[in-house]
Every structure is written in C-alpha cells, then in structure tokens.
Amino acid sequence: MSRLLAVLAVLAAAAALTLLRGPVATASLALMALAAMVPIALPAIGEVLNEKGGVFNIGLEGIMLIASAAAVYAAELGGSGLVGLGGGLVAGAIVALLFGLAVTYGRANQTIAGLGLNFFGIGAVAFLIFEIWGAPGFHRVPEALRIQPLATPAGLLRWLSVAAVLIPFLVVGLLQHTRFGLRLRAVGHNALVSDVSGIEVYRLRLAACVLGGALAGLGGAYMSLDWIGLASIDLIAGRGFVALACVVFSGLNPWRAVAAAFVFSVFNALGLWLQVEPWARPLMARGGSALFLMLPYAAVLILLVAAPAREAFPREIGRPYERP
C-alpha cells in the first residue's frame, strides 16, 4: 500500500515535470535525487544487515558523522579522495565495532547506546575539526581531493550512486546464498536456538555491525568528500535516521531500502529545486528556504503512516542476547 503510493507519487511527479518542463528537467531532477540518495541508501543497506542479525543500530547518524570527518582527514593525509573514502569506510567500521562490542558482549541496551553514540559523534567531530584544522564548526575540503563525478548533459552523475544501486546484489547474495547469511538470519530469528546449535551469536552480530558500519561510513565519506565537500557537525542532518526509516519501509529487503531512499531523495531534490522557481522568490526573500528543507522529513513522516507491520522483522530485534 505504502509502496504503491510512493511509486505512484514519484511517477506522477516525473510525468508532470516532463510535461511542464521537458525531459531534460526530469533527468536533472533524477540525477539530483540519485546524488542525494547515496548517504541514505548505503547506511540503510548496512542497517538491513544489522537488523537481520537482531541489532538495531540507532547510532548510524553518529557513525556517519565521525566517518565523514575522518574521511577528509584521511584524504588530506593520503593526498587522494579515494584514500579518503577508504578511510571513512574503515572509521565507520571501527566505531561500529565498538558499538557492536557494547551491545553484544556488553549486553547494552541498543537504543540507549545508539543515542549515546550520536551524542558522542557530535562532540568528537567538533573536537576533531577544531584540533586538526583549528576551525570551529566546519572545514572545507580542498577541491583537488574531491571525487570527480561524471558529467552528463542533464547534470552530474556520482559514481557512488551507481554503487548504491549495485551493492544490494552483493548483500542479497551474502544473506541468501552464503553460510554467513543463513547463520546471521538464524541469530536474528532466535538467538537462543542458534547458540544451542553451535553458532557464535555475539561474533556474528559483531560481524554484521562492522559491515553495516563500513557502509554507513562510506555514506558519510561520500557526503564530505564527494557530494558536499565539507566536514562539519551539521553535515549529516538526520540522514542516519532517515536511513532507519527506509529500513522500516523495506521490511529488511535491501532493494526496497534503496528504493525508499530514492523516494525520499526525490522529495529532497524537489525541495532544493523548488527554491529557484520564480513563484518561490518572494517566499525565499523572507527566509523561506527552511520551509523547503522541511519537505523530505515531512514526506518520511507521512509515509511512515503506511509502513508495513512489525511481522516483517526478526523476532529478536533490539534484544540483547544473554545465555540463560
């Protein structure tokens, strides 16, 4: 129901746009949406892996934030944007490893630990930006270190947009066709029975956390090094939480998670695009840009009304496992 609504909304918007402004406008809006999709889709795919294993990582936002700053630092040390992307990926994996240790072996409450991680991320990134670059608040990435997108007639195509569409292949393969995937799903479904049958519950959950954190870290690095070109404490702006909402829509299917991320990004791009429309000019002169930025968040809220039921999710999600 919600999926049908979302697809219809996007199709209707595309058709209306093509009629009113021509196909190039539609294509450029789609490219904008594809660029905005990456930092939502990548962490969402990672979170699907987490949740299959029964870990609910609400700290995605903090992981992305730390990775985005670490990526810029790695890029400046290594002298290349690709090194930076790798650094962001590793930083995300390390932070997620610490979170994973807390929620598996430490048996921590996942929601509280995740919220704490988001706090920690803000403080740590502000501290790092100040200590490394001596700048309070933000640091602009040198143009030479940014990832160069592919120029098309309708706009820029970012490489990671393509990757975000391809990664679900890998993740579905991992979950459905490997021993690791089968065991991870078993752990998420019933940790006690998995433990009894000799599966290392904590180790598998930890592995899922690290993989998910690496994807979230890549998403954060994409924002700082590729899309925006900035390291800042406000950079992620709730995208980690939007990714969580996408996972709720997806029913833990990586394809649907990417599709949901694309729908939200269409609203994001639409918000940016409407700002330069002639009729919006008087509103923009009166500080109206904030009202357009609200659009994707409001769309998430409205679409959450029609989210699928809880039955689609593993039974043990969010519960720390403890041997009786």
Work out which of 24, 127, 178, 196 binds other proteins, going by CB under 8 A: 127
Residue 57 phi/psi, 5° resolution?
A: -100, 95
Residue 101: closest CA among 57, 35, 149: 57
CA distance 74 to 94: 14
Task: State yes or no: residue 323 binds other proteins (CB under 8 A).
Answer: no
Residues 6 or more apart whose CB falls under 8 angstroms from that of 127 comprise: none
How far apart are CB 33 and other proteins at their closest, in Å? 19
User: Interior CA angle at 307 toward 303 and 308, to 5°?
Assistant: 160
Work out which of 83, 122, 172, 199 binds other proteins, going by CB under 8 A: 122
Amino acid at 263: V
Cβ-based burial of 126 (10 A; exposed 0-12, middle 13-18, buried ≥19): middle
CB burial of 228-253 (b: ≥16 within 10 Å; e: otherwise) equals bbbbbbebbeebbbbbbbbbbbbbbb
Here's the x/- map for other proteins, 73-112, by CB under 8 A: it reads as -----------------------------x---xxxxxxx
Work out which of 35, 95, 225, 248 binds other proteins, going by CB under 8 A: 248
CA distance 320 to 192: 11
Binding segment for other proteins (CB under 8 A), chosen from 89-97, 164-172, 177-185, 280-288, is 280-288
Task: State yes or no: residue 275 binds other proteins (CB under 8 A).
Answer: no
Work out which of 116, 155, 229, 251 binds other proteins, going by CB under 8 A: 116
Binding segment for other proteins (CB under 8 A), chosen from 75-83, 183-191, 214-222, 305-313, is 305-313
Work out which of 149, 229, 251, 288 binds other proteins, going by CB under 8 A: 288
CA distance 98 to 100: 5
**CA of 162: how far to CAs of 54, 151, 206, 258, in Å?**
29, 14, 28, 11
Binding segment for other proteins (CB under 8 A), chosen from 45-53, 176-184, 189-197, 299-307, is 299-307
Comparison of 221 and 242: residue with beta carbon closer to other proteins: 242
Per-residue DSSP letter, 142: P
Residue 107: closest CA among 64, 60, 55: 55
Number of residues that bind other proteins (CB under 8 A): 52
Task: State yes or no: residue 229 binds other proteins (CB under 8 A).
Answer: no
How far apart are CB 256 and other proteins at their closest, in Å? 16
Work out which of 97, 165, 199, 307 binds other proteins, going by CB under 8 A: 307
Task: State yes or no: residue 45 binds other proteins (CB under 8 A).
Answer: no
Work out which of 1, 131, 166, 324 binds other proteins, going by CB under 8 A: 131
The token duo for 152 is: 């098309």
Positions touching other proteins (CB under 8 A) are 58, 62, 102, 106-113, 115-124, 126-127, 129-131, 136, 233, 237-238, 241-242, 244-245, 248, 286-288, 290-291, 293-294, 297-298, 300-301, 304-305, 307, 309-310, 320
